[in-house]
Amino acid sequence: MLKCKLNITGHCLVTGSSSGIGKAVALEFASKGVPIVAISNDKRALVKLKNEITSVFDVDCYILNKDLLDEKSPLEIYQWCMDNKIDVQILINNIGLVCSGRFEDSCEKSNEDLVRLNLFPMLQLTRYFLPTLKSHNNSYILNMSSLGRCIPMPYKALYAASKAFVYSFSKALSVELKSANVQVSVSCPAGVYTNPHVVQRINSGGIIAKWTSLSVDRVSYFIVNSMLKGKKTIVPGIGAKFLLFLMRVLPESLNILIAVE
C-alpha cells in the first residue's frame, strides 16, 4: 500500500461517493495515498469505485451501501467504523439533493427528503465522529454548501435555504473546534458538470451559469487541495469568485433577479 505523503494516518469518509463531486473527491484523496470509506446507495457504482481506487492508487477503499435518507444510517456507519477499527481523520459531508420549480407545486415527501438528506447526515456524522476526529493532531471536516447559499433563490427556494444552513453551521462549528485542531471547511461551488440533470440545467441556463460552471475534476482537485492548505471557505473557479463578489456588492433584490435568470 502507498504510504500517505501527507500528515494523515487515518481514513477519509465521503458521503455520496458513487458519482459526481463525492466520487471525484474520494479519487483525489486516494491519489494522495489516503484510504477511503465510500458511502452511497448504489452498490454497483461503489464496487467500481473500490476497484478503481485499489488498482490505480494501491490504497484501501471500504464501501458501505447505505441509504442516508434512513435516519439510522449515520449511526450504523459510525458503529461499523468503530467495530472495524476504521480511524476517520477526514469527514466529507458531500451528499445533497437539489430541487427546482415553484414551492407551491412541490410535494411534501420531496421537500422532506431534501431537508433530511441535505442536513441530517451532516449533523449526525459530524456529532458521532467528533471524538475520533479530535483524537488526531490534525483532522478535517468538509461540508458541501453551494454558491446558491448566498441569496434566496426563487424556484430553488428549499435548496438555497438548506445550503445557507450548511454554510452557517460550518462557519460556527469552525470557531468552536479551533482549539481542538479540527479544521472545518465549507465549499461553495457554482455549477459543476456532474449528473445529466445538472448538465442539462447548466446548458439550458443563462450565460452566467455557463461561465461559472466547472468540470467535476477541477472542482474536486481545488476543494481537496484548498482544505489541506487550511482554507475554510472554498469557492472553486474565478467565475464563481467573481459572482460571489457581485452578490456582496449588489442589492439583494438585484441578486434575486439574476438568480431567476
Ligand X SMILES: NC(=O)c1ccc[n+]([C@@H]2O[C@H](COP(=O)([O-])OP(=O)(O)OC[C@H]3O[C@@H](n4cnc5c(N)ncnc54)[C@H](OP(=O)(O)O)[C@@H]3O)[C@@H](O)[C@H]2O)c1
Residue ranges in contact with ligand X by CB under 6 A: 16-22, 40-42, 66-69, 94-96, 98, 117, 144, 146, 189, 191-192, 194-195, 198
In the complex, least distance from residue 180 CB atom to ligand X, rounded to whole angstroms: 25
Closest approach, Cβ 224 to ligand X, in A, equals 14
Is 193 known to be catalytic? no
| 48/232 with CB nearer ligand X | 48
248: number of Cβ within 10 Å:
9
Which residue number, 198 or 246, has a Cβ lying nearer to ligand X? 198
Q: How far apart are CA 245 and CA 239, in angstroms?
A: 10
CB 37 within 8 A of CB 88: yes
Catalytic residue selected from 163, 171, 193, 221: 163
What does the angle CA 83 – CA 84 – CA 89 come to, to the nearest 5 degrees?
105
CB 195 within 8 A of CB 18: no
Contact 8, 89 (CB under 8 A): yes
Grid coordinates in use for 58?
494501491
- Asked about 159 being catalytic, the answer comes back as yes
Nearer to ligand X, 99 or 136 (CB): 99
**Between residues 58 and 70, which has the closer beta carbon with respect to ligand X?**
70
Q: How many CB atoms lie within 10 A of CB 57?
A: 20
Q: Is 71 in contact with 120 (CB distance < 8 Å)?
A: yes
Q: How far is the CB of 130 from ligand X (least distance, A)?
A: 21
Set 78, 159, 167, 221: catalytic member:
159
Q: Kindly state the smallest distance separating residue 181's Cβ from ligand X, in Å.
A: 26
Q: Which is nearer to ligand X, 13 or 136 (CB)?
A: 13
The interaxial angle of helices 43-56 and 20-31, nearest 10 deg, is: 20
Reading the block at residue 252, the C-alpha cell is 439583494
Closest C-alpha to 118, from 152, 156, 72, 69: 69
Q: Closest distance between ligand X and the C-beta of residue 7, in Å?
A: 27
Residues labelled catalytic: 159, 163
